[in-house]
Amino acid sequence: MKEQRAAAARGTGYAILLHVVLIGLLLFGLHRASQQGGDAGGDGALQADVASVNDLSAKTRRALLGQPKQVEQPLPQPIETPTPKETPKPEPVQTPPQPVTKDVPPQKPQPERPQPSKPEPKSLPVDASKKVPMPEPAKKPAEPDLAALAAAQAARLAKATNLAKQRALQVADAGAPDGGHEQASARAGVGSGKSRNSGQQKWLDAVGRAIEAKWVRPDDIAPGQTCPIHIRIIPGGEVIAASVQPGCPYSEEAKRSVEKAVRDASPLPFKGYEDVYTRDFTANFKPSR
C-alpha cells in the first residue's frame, strides 16, 4: 500500500511538471512570435508547431494521462501449518493368566440341630404381708442461717469501716504538725480532772458524758473505779479506735462494755471544740454513779 501511494504521488508530480513546461513553452512561443511580428512589420500572425502525442515518450504520455504505474503486489506467502506430532500408541497391557479353578464338589447341607428350649422363669409368689419400700423423698436443701449471714456481713462491714477510719487518720496525721498526739485525762463528771486549759477540760468532760450516756453498767463495777481507755478520733469526732489499757480494774465483760460505749458514742463532741480537741488521747473513764 505504501509503494502504491508513493507511485501515485510521483505520477501526479510528473503531470503537474509537464503541464507547467507546456504552458511555459506556449507563453515563450507567443512572446517570440509577437517580437518577430513587430520587427518584420507583418500582420502578427501566430505560428506554432504542432506536435503529436505519439511523438512523446511513454513515460511522458503516462505522466500526461495521469495513469500511475501499476506496482506489482507481492504474492501472499503460504502459511506453514505445523505438522501434528504423532502421539505414541499405548503399549498393550498384558493381563496375567488366570489360575485354573478346579471343580469343587458341592457340599452337602448339614441338618440343623434342634436347640434345647429354655425353661421359662417361674414367677415368685408375692408376699402381700411384706411392704414394698417406698423411695425416700428428696431432702430439701438446708436453708442458710440468716443470723450467721447477717453477723458475718456486719463483721465485714465493721472491718471495712475500721480500715477506712485508720486510713483517714493516717492522712490526717501526715498533714498535721508535730505534737499532734497528746495525752489527756477525761472523767464523766463536769469539773473533774486536769488539762492544759479550761477549754480542753470542757471538751474532755463532754467526751466523758457522751461515753457514759451510751454505757450499760455491769453489776460488778464498784463505785469510784477508774478505767483508762485509749481513744483515736478524726476531725469531726468520729472514733476510729478504742481500747482499754492494762491498768483498768474492770472485768473482761466490763472492759468490753466501755469500748462498746465509746464506739456507740461516735462521733464524740467536736463542734465548738475545734481548737482544743486531740486526735490521740487516753481518757480515765470514771462513772459518775
**Domain span at 215:** 179-285
Cell (9 digits) for 55: 511523438
Query: How does strand 239-244 pair with strand 280-285?
Result: unpaired
What is the value of pTM for the model shown? 0.37
Do the domain assignments include residue 42?
Answer: yes
In sign, the C-alpha dihedral spanning 266, 267, 273, 275 is positive
Averaged confidence pLDDT in the chain: 73
Query: Of the candidates 30, 49, 65, which is a domain's last residue?
Result: 65
Q: What is the pLDDT of residues 179-231, one digit of tens each?
A: 333 444 444 333 334 445 688 888 888 998 999 999 998 888 888 889 999 99
Q: What is the pLDDT of residues 117-175, one digit of tens each?
A: 666 666 655 555 555 566 666 666 666 678 888 888 888 877 777 666 666 655 555 54
Query: Of the candidates 18, 35, 65, which is a domain's last residue?
Result: 65
Give the Å distances, CA to CA, from 286 to 14, 54, 66, 278. Answer: 151, 167, 152, 20
Do the domain assignments include residue 144?
Answer: no
Cell (9 digits) for 41: 512589420
Do the domain assignments include residue 109?
Answer: no
The pLDDT value recorded for residue 142 is 63
Do the domain assignments include residue 103?
Answer: no
**CATH number of the domain residue 241 falls in:** 3.30.1150.10
Query: Of the candidates 10, 38, 65, which is a domain's last residue?
Result: 65
Do the domain assignments include residue 259?
Answer: yes
| Cross-strand bridge partners of residue 181 | 280
Can you say how many angstroms the Cα of residue 234 is from the centroid of all Cα atoms in its chain?
A: 46
pLDDT above 70 covers a percentage of the chain that reads: 54
Do the domain assignments include residue 123?
Answer: no
Number of domains in the chain: 2
Do the domain assignments include residue 83?
Answer: no
Do the domain assignments include residue 262?
Answer: yes
Q: What is the pLDDT of residues 161-188, one digit of tens each?
A: 766 666 665 555 554 443 333 444 444 3
